[in-house]
Amino acid sequence: MSWLDEIRWTADGLVPVIAQEADTGTILMFAWMNRESLALTAEEGYAVYWSRSRNKLWRKGEESGHRQKVREIRLDCDEDVILLKVEQAGGIACHTGRHHCFFRILRDGQWETVDPVLKSPETIYR
C-alpha cells in the first residue's frame, strides 16, 4: 500500500491542506490537493496544489515567484487533513500581496483588515 492510500480523500479525490510557516508557526493559507499534486509536492520539495476553480495543478509561486519550499508534510489523526510546514519565498503567500491569507479579523460584528499589503498584486502578477 502506498502512503497516499492512507489518506482519506474527499468524494472528489481531494484533501484539504494547511500551509504553515515552518520558522514562525504562522498559518499562511489553505488549499486543496489531489493525489497527483501531493505526490509531486513530496517528490519536488515545493508545494503543488489543485486549483478547483481552474481544474488543474497549481505550483505555488509559478507566476509570482512566491514558492513554498516544503520542510515537512504531516497528516492529521483522522487522516483527512494535510499540514505543510514551509519556507515562504518572498514573505508573501496571499494573492492579495499579504504575508498570509488570514488578514481579516471579526470585531464587533464586522470584518476588519488588520494586515497590510506588502506588494501590489498588479506588480506580482503580470
pLDDT in tens, 58-92: 999 998 999 999 999 999 999 999 999 999 999 99
Is residue 125 one of the residues assigned to a domain? no
Is residue 76 one of the residues assigned to a domain? yes
Residue 50 grid coordinates: 489543485
- pLDDT reported for residue 1: 79
Is residue 126 one of the residues assigned to a domain? no
For the entire predicted model, the pTM comes to 0.93
* CATH number for the domain that contains residue 20: 3.10.20.810
**What is the C-alpha to C-alpha distance for residues 51 and 112, in angstroms, rounded to an integer?**
27
* Count of structural domains, the chain: 1
Host domain of residue 11: 3-120
Is residue 40 one of the residues assigned to a domain? yes
Is residue 105 one of the residues assigned to a domain? yes
Span 35-51, pLDDT tens digits: 999 999 999 999 999 99
Whether 26 contacts 94, CB under 8 Å: no
Is residue 87 one of the residues assigned to a domain? yes
- Res. 122: pLDDT tops 90: no
Closest by CA position to 30, among listed 19, 41, 42: 19
Is residue 16 one of the residues assigned to a domain? yes
